[in-house]
Chains A and B, each alone.
Chain A
Amino acid sequence: MKYLILGAGLALLGVAHAGHEFPFYPSFYPQEITIEALAPQAAAQRIAKGTLHAYAGDELAAKPDPAKTGTVVSLGGYVVVTFDRRAPQFADRSARCAAARSLKPALAAGQVWHPYPITPYHADYLHHADRAEAARAAVAAQHVAKPPGKLEIFDVAVLAAQAGARYNGWLGPPWLRQGWFHAYLLLAPAVSDAGARARIEEVARRLMRGEHRSLRERIERERELVALLQSGCERIVLGYTVRREHYGTEYSHGVENVGYDALDGLASAIFPRTVKLRDFPWNGWLNVAAPAAPSSAWNPVAGGFGGAFGRLVWWALGDPAFLPSPHGAGWIENRLSASDTKTGSPLAVPEDALVPEPGSGRLAPAGRGRTATTRIVYRVRNSAFHDGTPMSVADLLYAYAFAAAWGAGDTADPGVAQATALARERLKGVRLLRVETESLAFGEDKLSYEVPVIEVHLDAEGAGDAATIAPPWTIVSWHLLALLEEGARRGHFAFSAAGAARLGLPELDPVRNAAIVRRLGELARELEERAHVPAALSRYVDAGEARQRYRRLREFHAAYGHWLVTNGPYMLSRWDGTKAVLEVFRNPTYPKGLGSFDVYAAPLKAHVPRVERRDYGAEVQTEVEWLERLGRDVRIVRGSFAKRLAERLATAGPPPAPVCRYLLVGPDGAVVAAGVARADATGTCRLEFARPARRAGGSGDRLVLAAVLEGNVANAPIKIVPWQH
């Protein structure tokens, strides 16, 4: 099979035919992003002056002027008490659980009483809202101000990062942002009873494998897991903290269209893809800051880029296959689209599909007899790397080869192993189907893209989340990975923090570790001289291409002084020890343009003003929010969906309809029914659920529901209604 070097072309050919604009600008609004560390007081002063646009990760020192400052609120961390099991008064479970209910006064100012491990910021909160409400209400009459154990705050971002180490452009696991998973990460380690722990692991495993036949069953399993995690009261959640981050909104010097993530705040994927300087229709110089200097390595392979500073850098440089839905339950397609998914058992894996060999990374044909449960077909939106190298299918394949080589075997790196464990376990084969050409033309001015269509066979349940497990995508080129491999093999660094700790080596940092930067320079020259092609790619890459790639990489390093070359929307222009300056990659090959993610900038909500009983279940009336532009300002307006649909004045196509999500909970806490219903043109959701047969009159049931707009489930207003059938 011929593997093509993929290029995109821009033909701006029009003579006098085309007009006053080429209306597609690759990448995102700011032309430059400067990131620095600032203490909260200095940040407050700079925002007031208009020389700082946003402050990620912490509260400002001074109360911000609401007329000139905007605020985003996201989940900070869990406030947790872990009981000392050696203390005799807490050896008994019931004593611990009773003590837990008396600890509300132990919360500090600004901490929210919420003794349940799934918060309104989690996308699956609806599934637990009734239990959370009951937990909040179950406050003991006698209060204890001093917690009888160790009180800690577990940062949710840190919790998730520990469990979901990133590998290259693969984020995951698919359930990484689910509340039940955070509850598991937080509470399972404190469970001492082996039997309880085994049961917890089994339920968690079943959730991770998607072993449920219906939404109701899945919700039941999630609730069961949380109940098991909480049952021993060895570690209890008292509540949570929120992260308030601020940005300037002044007419000229401020920013707008500020996207943020319900869990990660401003230091998230959506922020650099939406934020816009108010004085610039596009372009401009964005200044953002974080409370602390970068502390973890800028490691593009596995993990790395911790802390607010690191995440601000990474999410601008790195372009994962899928992005976390900032206020939703799942993932947004970014550089891939999963266009065809089949699930079933068994599917034959084509003989010529490639399977990466553990330990060596060799890409071998699958051969006969291999099967999988799921086949996903991806369309890949490639682009040039920042060193100018056109992307090739070899780059996509090498991500699999690298994962197999360094995730398994004698020389496996523990960080790579953990980050790629799920992908390596589930992947059954990869195959290039064809390369298509897409174009975006305005008259004779045209952008052309070559789009590889790649099928991946997996053992996985469920179409949506499975697409994120082992996508055919890479953020870094094969020749950079090959260079880094050489460095790791020669003992100059390790690929992860865990690997570095085990081997007593520095973690890979191709920017800030001067010794590594220097060593990579020596290696890159050597690899260019011998035109090194990794063994896994020997059939797909020739020496000429290899030599050219290393030359480009070295030229990039000569110009910019580092080796962090990606294919993301921004590139690292310079790091001077205190500030990172990122330059927009407005390259015609980059497939996402200005405004691609604007719909996520304002998490619009739907509301439920009325619920009425019907024979079939319930009729739910909804209202929706939409944006109204007022010059440079935008405000959120709320009204009936029917009215919005009837006007239809400002949108291309009908506005999105609200979706009602609900569960009916019995008096014993069991989920009797669950479902999803899209509102009709009048804004009405029809929820169909049968009266439970066992209870005539159905007393004691509660209907828990929310109307959700555009997938914005985080912090969706929830109604809990006593339900009489």
Chain B
Amino acid sequence: MDKEQMQERRAFLKQFSATLGAAGLGAAGIGTTAHAAVKPKGSIPTRPVKAGHITFLTGPAELLGGPGQRGHILAQEEINAQGGLLGKRKIETIFADEAAGTDSNVKELRRMKLAEKIELFTGIISSGNTPALGPVAEELKILTLFNDGCTDFLFDKAVPNPKYAFRVTNIQSADGVTAAIGAATHWPKVRRIASLQPDYSYGRNVFEHFSLALGKLLPGIQVVSESWPKLGTTDFTSHITKILSVNPDLLIVGVWGGDYVAFYKQALRYGLFDKMKVATTLAFGGSPHAIGKDHPDGVLAGVHANYHFLYPSAERWPINRSFVERYYKRFKEYPSFEADGAYTALYLYKQAVEKANQLVGGWPDDEAIIAMLEGAGIDAPAGYLYIRADNHQGYKDAVTGLSKNLPGYDFPVWDPASVVSIPIRSITAPPNWPKPGQGHNESTAAADWIKKTWPTAKA
């Protein structure tokens, strides 16, 4: 990237207060440690805190759920090694497999609460499940920290006024928008856009928000091709040849996991990556070692707008360095965004319990813990995480970067100089923005807010 291009990009990003790359602008803060010791007040019981954690332990989504479970386990082991919560109450977790389906997951949550008497519920990957489990958590009055299941619908519609339910990972609409900003940052001249999305709700959500955001950022973009492979598609060649035939500047890809791997390996045979830029929302969303070394460089490799283990860099954010080292030592692999989310969730809970204890003494009840969670900030491996009080949604800077094969890793990672970090407030609807059905019929509050408030770039 030459100096002029760099300046152009910085000017572009300035409107978002976003930063680019390790050498770029932006805050270089070092937060307080998440593990500062506090002396508990009052009498603390010694019985363990039972937590329930439902995530994908089998099937294709184990690619996401497995690291999430491991992040939870690491946090639990660390907290218990210090004596447990408030130095007295160790955490014991009951795991269940999310692959059993929504109905089974609802039943299992009820069982965990009513029979196992859990005090905390965490986990959940699928956005098909959080809207179903959120109301149940409210009904059962079980303090819940969803690790993912990031659909806007959870707090837009399903649980619009949550009390017990919280979520730590970025909202789904941020995914497509982050990819759009990443694409506009790195490739500001793209105009002809092609899309390859899985033919169900996720794909439609990505395409909608990506197109909306990119249309505001870059003047005169044109969607020249839409491909919607059905669930179970393994041969992407017809889609690839169709995309190549329209000669787009940029391809936005929402297929994930093994589908993405099949796609990129087939696309390599056609030289697709030499003929257009490629942006993805979830290419690097699973365990980092899941992607092979033949993955092309220079792809905008999304992490669901959440976290990649190389960012923030070890030097600039020691919390991340320490987390990555400890995670690797424990599990002999690098953490994904699900691992960071699950790990942070448990520490967020710990922090809230400690703060509540300082105020009320003894073991705090859920009201006190919830009060400490609302508006909480925590220094997490991914950076600062903030829990907004009105909707219990977690917000952290959204990130994406370009893929690169670097020595020292058996799999592709991000080019550190390419990382785009976007303040989350720049891409998510503010508090009290009308939700779908409240004066508008957009799919998400974010979509409505972008349409109404983002300026459209002029040609």
Contacts and interface: CB of A to CB of B under 8 A. Distances in A.
A538 interface: no
A443 B60 contact: no
Given A20-B150, A22-B231, A650-B73, A281 B63 contact: yes
B59 A25 contact: yes
B280 to A, nearest CB: 12
Interface string A587-608: 1100001110010000000000
Nearest to B233: A586
B424 interface: no
Contact of B292 (A20, A31, A279): A279
Given A593-B59, A594-B59, A19 B292 contact: no
Contact of B262 (A16, A20, A280, A598): A280
Contacts of A24: 59-60, 99
B96 interface: yes
A584 interface: yes
B68 interface: no
A629 B331 contact: yes
Contact of A283 (B132, B148, B258, B287): B258
Nearest to A635: B332
A12 B285 contact: no
A251 to B, nearest CB: 6
Contacts of A583: 234
Contact of B59 (A23, A439, A445): A23
A17 interface: yes
Nearest to B232: A586
B150 A19 contact: yes
B61 interface: yes
A443 B61 contact: no
Contacts of A631: 287, 289, 332-333
Most B CB within 10 A of own CB, among A280, A281, A282, A584:
A281
Interface string A14-40: 111111111111100101100000000
B16 interface: no
A23 B200 contact: no
A18 B60 contact: no
Contact of A443 (B128, B233, B292, B294): B128
B128 A14 contact: yes
A142 interface: no
A140 interface: no
B261 A281 contact: yes
B202 A21 contact: yes
B96 A16 contact: no
A501 interface: no
Contacts of B172: 16, 19-20
Contacts of B98: 23
Interface in B59-118: 59-64, 66, 69, 73, 76, 93, 95-99, 101-103
A625 to B, nearest CB: 18
B59 A444 contact: no
Contacts of B290: 281
B256 A20 contact: yes
Contacts of A25: 59-60, 231-232, 258
A440 interface: yes
Interface string A143-166: 000000000000000000000000
B304 interface: yes
A63 interface: no
Given A443-B132, A586-B234, A650-B95, A16 B205 contact: yes
Contacts of B8: none
Nearest to A19: B127
B275 interface: no
Interface centre among A22, A23, A440 (most CB of B within 10 A): A23
A439 B56 CA distance: 18
A29 B258 CA distance: 9
Given A441-B101, A586-B232, A281 B60 contact: yes
Contacts of A283: 234, 258-259, 261-262
A587 B232 contact: yes
B131 interface: yes
Nearest to B259: A283
A441 B127 CA distance: 12
Interface in B126-146: 126-132
Contacts of A653: 95-96
A68 to B, nearest CB: 14
A652 interface: yes
A5 to B, nearest CB: 22
A20 B282 contact: yes
Interface string B240-279: 0000000000000000111101100000000000000000
Of B96, B205, B304, chain A has the most CB atoms within 10 Å of the CB of B205
A16 B258 contact: no
A252 interface: yes
B257 A588 contact: no
A483 B81 CA distance: 69
B58 interface: yes
Interface in A265-283: 279-283
B204 interface: yes
A593 B58 CA distance: 10
A632 interface: yes
Interface in B165-222: 172, 175, 198-202, 204-205, 208
Given A23-B60, A281-B258, A594-B60, A17 B73 contact: no
Given A283-B234, A652-B95, A20 B261 contact: no
A1 interface: no
Contacts of A441: 101-103, 128
B397 interface: no
Nearest to B234: A31
Contact of A650 (B69, B102, B205, B257): B69
B285 A652 contact: no
Contacts of B341: none
Given A17-B153, A280-B262, A281-B290, A12 B73 contact: no
A578 interface: no
26 contacts: A15-B204, A16-B151, A16-B153, A18-B127, A19-B125, A20-B175, A21-B61, A25-B231, A29-B258, A31-B234, A32-B234, A282-B257, A283-B234, A441-B101, A442-B101, A444-B201, A445-B200, A586-B231, A594-B59, A595-B59, A629-B333, A649-B73, A649-B76, A651-B57, A652-B96, A653-B95
Give 8 closest A-B pairs by Cβ, nearest first: A19-B127, A443-B128, A442-B128, A586-B232, A282-B258, A14-B201, A23-B61, A31-B234
Interface of A: 10, 12-26, 29, 31-32, 251-252, 279-284, 439-445, 583-584, 586-588, 593-595, 598, 629-633, 648-653
